[in-house]
Amino acid sequence: MKTTCLISCLAFLATAWAANPDVGAVDNAHGARIVREGVKYRGVFINDEDWGLRPWAVRHFGKEEQIGVRAYEEVFKIMKADGLNLLWPAMHEGGYEFSERPGNLDLATKKGITVGTSHCEPMLRNNCYIPKRDQKLWSWLNHRDFVADYWREGVKRGEGHNVLWTIGMRGIHDGRMTDGKTTEEKVAVLEDVFKFQTSLLASDAPKLFVPYKEVLPLYNAGLKVPGGTTIMWVNDNFGYIRRLGGPQAEGYGGGIYWHASYWGRPHGYIHLCTTPPAFMWYELCAKAWNNGVRDVWMLNAGDVFQAEALLFCYGQFAANPDAFGPDAQRRALSRWCIQTFSSFKNEMLHERIVGHLEDYYNLGFIRKPEFMCIQWTTNLPASVKAHLVNRYRAHLVRDAEIESELARISPESVDAYFRTVGFQSRFLANAGLVHLEGRTKEEARAVLDPLYVRWDALDGGKWSGFWVDTIEERTGQYQPTPHNRWSSQMQWPWNEPPDPQARDRHGVSRDDYIATAYRADVPEPTWLEPVANEAANGGAWTRVGGLGTSGSAHALLPVKPGVGEGATMEFSLTGLRTADFGRKKSPGVRSPKSEVLVLQFLPDFALWPGLGLGVEVAFDGEKPQYVPVPKSDSNIGERDPVRNAAVQDNFIRVEVSIPDGAKHVEIRAVDPGVVVDRVGVRTRSDR
């Protein structure tokens, strides 16, 4: 009898688990559900900290300590609450090496945090702090003894602490490696470096190699990485994973370095955190985790405190990547909202906040405020511009309504809302209106300055000095005063050079990259909805809530080679074109206009070398044609103008001619990792 009951209970639990993966979960410090063991190392990288974190730390803890134990106490609180356990510490000039001061490592050990260092800081050292006069010695070929002693010191500092050792070698700070002239010579240098570095470590010491930027082509050329090392793959700095391991990397575990903040070409985005959780889920869970990247996830979170909601979602995804599906964004944000605003039990208001956040992330994906510029505004079609203006205005109204309701039912939640949602959403919407409505600097100050003033007063001034004064945009030597912070990369119209050929402080002109693929003289397509969807080979085109500029892009899921191949979406073409659309034409009669099918993809990359990224398009059951996603080769460089437009627009478009009289079209899955954001029809142009 007891045995029968036990079997019945186990059968019930198995059924319940299949229906609800949260069965048997435990609560973390937030009261959020964390289920089973997911990614082993779930990391946060503090990067480009000069804009927010360092000014804040200097103001509150003094210039001598700045980003030290008291600042890391606050970072570790967030990390531990979200189930994160690996830190790459702040690494830019102006401070000091994290490992130089034992108190930092001691605190990490006490808090159960493993410490590592970024892709350009091997062996727990940061070479940007080598005295300028000695930086010429940073050469493995010419000054081996100097570099070897430098790394030995890193190993000594790490004794007695949990360290994930980054191996390899690049140039000074985040520069290109300088040793070796040819690819073959550089590969030989790195392999010799590996041999020495691993000789300093215990055989079971966890090791990490990051083929980032100029190092990835060396790996692709056959670089041999020491056994037992986790290879950490990288994205393109904008969230699109350049490549995963595939058969070449079998046996090396898997890691991913992923950006929610970045400073560099074609433009940085370090002021707000506008990366949608849906995009994070797709790239990290659906793609990386599902293809063996399960040892280390590292999130470049910038200054950390502006990314609290996303960090919570990241912790949820990393703890149990299999527990989330196409509704991952709404589920994770709902959990975050419940724990953040636990002082009231109003399900309807919680859902309004979640919906407001989803609108914020979608608007930020359509255009990050840091990417707004004159070139973008002048190239937007009138319909897109009008639509965005209406959405920005509605976003501000909704934000005010939510805060008013909070003030009525839960006054103690108002400041928490402003700190985690309100500041960011109001900044984003107002930045959009400044650009699209041509507001002046004075008008911008009138709406944005009060946001800074209010932020600085929160929690008795605890967070004062954190946000950059973006309107003033003063740059140069950092000074810890409220009106002389670093530039946040905002491109306000009054700061842009009037001449597109004029160079900015990085030597880049607006014509050196394309800021958008929009054209004012090319109207937007008529966007279509699928009328049929058919699965194949264990996969299907699946809507992912919050993904893409549409907010409901179709991803081919699961993301695995061969899975879903042949799955189709069908779209009706009838009743959409000119008067003769869909009718056979008389012989010899030409239509004055022709129509094209517009496929809007996420600008992703093929999963790994040897795989493609594209779909087949077939009209009325005729022979299909293969349509690749442009610029989806992982070797496409940072200066490619088409790709630079794509990562700012978060879409890349392909036009396919529609045959006369075609009544429907099928989009057929061929390659893994394709996301179709939208499908539409418009009149052909000379674009």
pLDDT at residue 315, rounded to an integer: 98
Helix (H, G, I), strand (E, B), or coil: what is residue 463? Answer: coil
Are both 536 and 673 inside the same structural domain?
yes
Which stretches of the chain drop beneath a pLDDT of 70? 1-36, 248, 251, 473-488, 497-513, 576-593, 685-687
CATH number at residue 439: 1.20.58
Give tens-digit pLDDT for 634-651.
888 878 999 999 999 999
CB 145: neighbour CB atoms within 10 A?
8
Tell me whether residue 439 is in a domain: yes
Cα end-to-end span (Å), the chain: 75
Please give the Cα distance from 358 to 333 (Å, whole number).
Answer: 8
DSSP string, 223-254: PPPPTTEEEEEEB-SSS-B----GGGGTTS--
Q: Which two tokens stand for residue 197?
A: 């570095």
Tell me whether residue 183 is in a domain: no
CB–CB of 332/544 below 8 Å?
A: no
Are both 291 and 375 inside the same structural domain?
no
Closest by CA to 138, choosing from 149, 129, 127, is 127
Q: Write the Ramachandran bin of 86: left for phi over 0, alpha for psi from -120 to 50, otherwise beta.
A: beta
Closest by CA to 436, choosing from 344, 369, 498, is 369
Residue 183 has what DSSP assignment?
H
Tell me whether residue 531 is in a domain: yes
Tell me whether residue 622 is in a domain: yes
Tell me whether residue 626 is in a domain: yes
Report the DSSP pairing between strands 114-115 and 568-572: unpaired
Domain boundary residue among 512, 534, 559? 512
pLDDT at residue 34, rounded to an integer: 43
pLDDT at residue 350, rounded to an integer: 96
Domain boundary residue among 261, 289, 324? 324
Are both 465 and 578 inside the same structural domain?
no
Cβ neighbourhood burial of 377 (10 Å; 0-12, 13-18, 19+): buried
Domain boundary residue among 487, 512, 537? 512
Are both 421 and 542 inside the same structural domain?
no
pLDDT at residue 12, rounded to an integer: 28
CB 488: neighbour CB atoms within 10 A?
22
pLDDT at residue 8, rounded to an integer: 32
Are both 270 and 371 inside the same structural domain?
no
Domain count for the chain, please give it. 3
pLDDT at residue 624, rounded to an integer: 97
Closest by CA to 607, choosing from 248, 211, 225, is 248
Q: Which two tokens stand for residue 606?
A: 């093929």
Are both 354 and 265 inside the same structural domain?
no
Are both 639 and 558 inside the same structural domain?
yes
Tell me whether residue 108 is in a domain: no
Are both 442 and 468 inside the same structural domain?
yes
Tell me whether residue 488 is in a domain: yes
CB-based contacts of 586, cutoff 8 Å, min separation 6? none
Helix (H) or strand (E) holding 165: strand 165-167
Are both 493 and 447 inside the same structural domain?
yes
- Within 13 Å, how many C-alpha atoms sit on residue 332's CB side? 32
Instruction: Tell me which amino acid residue 16 is.
Output: A
Are both 438 and 569 inside the same structural domain?
no
Report the DSSP pairing between strands 675-683 and 526-527: antiparallel
Are both 485 and 557 inside the same structural domain?
no
Tell me whether residue 293 is in a domain: yes
Q: The domain containing residue 297 runs over which residues? A: 231-324
Please give the Cα distance from 473 to 173 (Å, whole number).
Answer: 25
Sign of CA dihedral 446, 447, 450, 451: negative
Are both 286 and 354 inside the same structural domain?
no
